[in-house]
Amino acid sequence: MLIRLGFDIEFEVPAPVAMVALFHVHPTRCADLREPDEPRIMPAVPFKKYQDGFGNVCSRFIAPAGKLRLYQSTLIEDSGKPDPVSPLACEVPVDDLPPEALQFLLGSRYCEVDRLLDVAGNLFGNSQPGWARVQAVCNWVQASVTFGYPFASPTKTALEVYADRKGVCRDFQHLAITFCRCLNIPARYAAGYLGDIGVPVVPPMDFSAWFEVYLQDRWWTFDARNNMPRIGRVLMARGRDAADVAITTSFGTTWMKHFTVVSDVVPDVKAATTQ
């Protein structure tokens, strides 16, 4: 399966400002690219790429005053298979976890593990350990939290989502991640493209969030918002929570004026070529 990926984002910048953008496909998917992954900046400014502590590819640059446009179009090959499922995957005792997984048991900016420990224990302490427990978390979050774009807030934390039971995609994942960490299951936030492939179209298209947990001997994809295996996820960035994977971070004032995202299946390479 070939998927056309892209975005077009415009900002109004009142004065020159330093920015960091995570708009590249994650290195783990680079081998699947069938066109260059070369996001563009207008007006053209020099930028430097680097990998952050989570392995995400970042670009840093100085945005000049005025209109700023970030845009991209590339083509990636995907298996066309849904997210893998392994109902027998078991939990790993904390003592046996790989060292790099331990940080994903701790509290973070949007995931207050210490404040939701008792809640998680009461809700899921008697559930079957392993895959079934994570699935129980996803089932509860999806059933208990109402989705809606008017509920979006850049400062909303997992505790606040639990209290008011409203949110957007990232809020569902933050609450599920926090519950998993409370249960000693490493959980990390993921962001990227997720088109409406194999499901009813739900406009407008946006970047998506999901989460990954460490069970058995690897990381597995879960999605508390959609709560079903999906086709065509393309990872861009991972981190402790949304604070680590923002598509753009401005170290000063910017105003977003336009935002579109594309993640569409194309029939073949010829048809996928950008006109």
Question: What confidence score (pLDDT) does residue 199 get?
Answer: 86
- Cα torsion through 37, 38, 39, 42, rounded to 10: -170
Place of tokens 């048809």: 271
Which structure tokens are listed for 166?
Answer: 């409203």
In a 10 Å sphere around its CB, with 0-12 CB exposed, 13-18 middle and 19+ buried, how is residue 262 labelled?
middle
Average pLDDT in the chain: 95
pLDDT at 139 exceeding the cut of 70? yes
84-89 mean pLDDT: 97
Beta bridge partner(s), residue 192: 208, 235
The pLDDT tens digits of the residues spanning 164-184 come to 999 999 999 999 999 999 999
Domains of the chain as residue ranges with CATH: 2-80+247-272 (2.60.40.2250), 94-231 (3.10.620.30)
Model confidence pTM above 0.85: yes
Residue 138 gets which letter from DSSP? H
221-246 mean pLDDT: 97
Q: 182, 176, 261: which is closest to 226 by C-alpha?
A: 176
Question: What confidence score (pLDDT) does residue 198 get?
Answer: 86
CB-based contacts of 274, cutoff 8 Å, min separation 6: 73
Question: What confidence score (pLDDT) does residue 20 get?
Answer: 97
Q: 205, 218, 201: which is closest to 263 by C-alpha?
A: 205
